[in-house]
Amino acid sequence: MSEQQTKELIRELSAELAPVRPIPPMRVVLVSVIGLWLLVAVVGLAILGRNPGLLDELLNWRGIGAVFFGLGVAGVSGLVAAIGLSIPGRENVVRAGLAAALAGMALSAGVGTALLMRSPVAAVPAPWTSDLTCLGIACAVALLPALGIVWFAGRAAPFRPLTVTLAAAAATTALGAMVAQAHCPFLDMRHLLVAHVFAPGVGALVLSVPLLIALRRVGRG
């Protein structure tokens, strides 16, 4: 190849270059997504109303308070994993986030199962329609924070888009389940386990596909 041809090739290649879009740091994205969740949570509870016994539940560290804590750990750790999956080279962060998220879910599920096994039948059993209501609240609260992660992932370089959306959906729904629990008036342990503890799994199934579609559109944009 002659020198002139080399120069022309370099000119053609450089003409196709585009500036790299800077992405915000992980901690900024994490704080922003949690901020979105808090905003939605405050507005949602202002509209739906708060469970009068919420403070007692939070202080019950051997009962529902532990379920709250486990969901919170699962939610925040899942957010870390979802954000890390959008940045190549953050495999250690992803592994730590997923491990902590699984530990949080194990805590919530274990405490919830223990409460179900040892608790008497609730005086006012929760109807099955309340399960759908609380799951709907958890997913609705999750939507805006999950879209925040999708926006970030679309600007970054997610190497496993489906895994990103699954992690984002499950993590934000775990946080949404905390809001549902803060509103829910029922003390039925079956309802606690089905509609609150298992909510992240339901959120992953319901929200992952629309989030994946949104991620691909953001990436093309």
* pLDDT tens-place string over residues 143-164: 999 999 999 998 887 878 999 9
CB 81 within 8 A of CB 158: no
Residue 107 counted as domain residue: yes
Q: Which residues contact 178 (CB under 8 A, 6 or more apart)?
A: 41, 68, 71, 72, 75
**Cα–Cα distance measured from residue 45 to residue 144, given in angstroms and rounded to the nearest whole number:** 16
Distances in whole angstroms, Cα of residue 185 to Cα of each of 3, 50, 62, 219: 78, 8, 19, 41
Tens-place pLDDT, residues 186-220: 878 889 999 999 999 999 999 999 999 999 888 76
The whole-number pLDDT of residue 214 equals 93
Distance (Å, whole) CA 193 – CA 201: 12
**How many domains does one find in the chain?**
1
Domain membership of residue 13 (yes or no) is: no
* Average pLDDT over all residues of the chain: 87
The pLDDT, as a whole number, for residue 110 is 93
pLDDT recorded at residue 139? 96
Asked if residue 150 is part of any domain, the answer here is yes
Which are the contacts of 183, defined by CB distance < 8 A and separation ≥ 6?
A: 44, 45, 48, 49, 50, 51, 134, 137
What is the residue range of 174's domain?
25-220
**Is residue 72 in some structural domain?**
yes
The pLDDT score that the predictor gives to residue 158 is 81
Domain-embedded: residue 38:
yes
- Give domain status of residue 5, yes or no: no
- Mean per-residue pLDDT, 16-28: 70
Residue 175: pLDDT above 90?
yes
Query: Poorest-confidence range of 79-93, 110-124, 139-153, 168-182?
Result: 110-124
Q: What was the pLDDT predicted at 106?
A: 96
Residue 69 domain flag: yes
**Residue at 168 is within a domain:** yes
| The predicted structure's pLDDT at residue 8 | 66
pLDDT the model gives residue 10: 60
211: which 2 tokens? 């989030």
50 or 16, which is more confident: 50
Instruction: Report residue 15's pLDDT band, with 50, 70 and 90 as the boundaries.
Output: low
Judged against a pLDDT cut of 70, whether residue 120 lies above it is answered with: no
